[in-house]
Structures are given as C-alpha cells and as structure tokens.
C-alpha cells in the first residue's frame, strides 16, 4: 500500500517510530537529548513536520526548520519495511522545497550510509563531521546544497 504523507498531529506516535529505528541501528534513544521531538509544534515553528502512514501506522517522518538563511532538514526516518520505495527521497524533496531559502542543510549519523547516498544523488555535498554529546557519542556528517 502507498503511504499517505500528511502534516504531523500532536497525537502521532513520532517518538515510538524514531526510537524503533534507533534500536534497529543499535543506538540509544534519549528523549531528553532529542528534545525537539518532545514538543514538535514549538521546535518546528516556522517550519514543518510530516509523517507518512500506511494503514494508520507511521512509517516515515521528516521535518524542516529555518536556520538563518538556510532551511535545516531534520528527522528523516523511514521504517525498515517502507525503505527502498522512494519515500525518503519524496520527503527530502518536500522538505528541501519548503520556504524561500538560499541553502538546504542537514546532519546525518555516519551509520546511515544509504541516506548519505540519497543526499549525494539529490545534489548535496558532504562536509565536515561532528561528535554529539548523546549517549552514543554519535558522529554526524554535514550535507548542504544551494536552493
């Protein structure tokens, strides 16, 4: 079944969806560190947050928020059973088209190699890495593109 993409609602189980993907990759999900997910409405104010659902179940998420002159794409997470069907690409394109910004930016954990191939195929350029102060001491790579 083709997922339906819609705007996030306050009762959507976004935390459960993302925590499951963290577990799949052997990561610790710490809601305190992931504070933007505790109040999506406030965190993404001036931006947008979407979910994709199939038969009432969330199978993907994506968000975008202003970041100075750029748009910052965040939280693209696709459930294992919904991958390889173009859903992440569709959500990335939706987020990258949001608003009137000169640049699109995102950070992605280095373990998400498939996502990095997607970003590069969509014209993003890989940049530096950073180490987070999360429970996993995650390493993230920066990606950006004009427009």
What CATH number did the domain enclosing 96 receive? Answer: 3.40.630.30
- Residues with Cβ within 8 Å of residue 33, at least 6 apart in sequence: 132, 133, 134, 135
> Helices 87-96 and 113-121 sit at what angle, rounded to 10 degrees?
50
Return the residue matching tokens 């191939």: 117
Helix (H, G, I), strand (E, B) or coil at 18: helix
Compute the distance between CA of residue 51 and CA of residue 95 in angstroms, rounded to an integer. Answer: 12
Q: Count of domains in the chain? A: 1
pLDDT per residue as tens digits for the range 46-60:
999 999 999 999 999
How does DSSP classify residue 68? T
Neighbours of 76 (CB within 10 A): 23
Compute the distance between CA of residue 128 and CA of residue 85 in angstroms, rounded to an integer. Answer: 29
Give the predicted TM-score (pTM) of the model.
Answer: 0.95
Return the residue matching tokens 């947050």: 49
Confidence band (pLDDT; 50, 70, 90) for 75?
A: very high
pLDDT per residue as tens digits for the range 85-127:
999 999 999 999 999 999 999 999 999 999 999 999 999 999 9
Domain membership of residue 127 as a residue range: 4-146
pLDDT per residue as tens digits for the range 12-46:
999 999 999 999 999 999 988 888 999 999 999 99
């Amino acid at each position: 079944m083709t997922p339906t993409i819609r705007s996030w609602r306050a009762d959507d189980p976004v935390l459960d969806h993302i925590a499951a993907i963290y577990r799949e990759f052997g990561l610790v999900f710490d809601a305190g560190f992931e504070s933007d997910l505790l109040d999506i409405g406030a965190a993404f104010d001036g931006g947008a947050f979407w979910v994709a659902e199939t038969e009432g179940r969330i199978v993907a998420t994506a968000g975008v928020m202003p970041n100075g002159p750029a748009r910052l794409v965040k939280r693209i997470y696709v459930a294992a059973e919904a991958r390889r069907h173009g859903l992440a690409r569709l959500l990335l394109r939706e987020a990258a088209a949001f608003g009137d910004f000169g640049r699109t930016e995102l950070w992605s954990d280095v373990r998400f190699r498939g996502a990095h191939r997607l970003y590069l195929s969509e014209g993003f350029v890989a940049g530096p890495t950073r180490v987070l102060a999360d429970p996993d001491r995650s390493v993230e790579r920066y990606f950006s593109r004009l427009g």
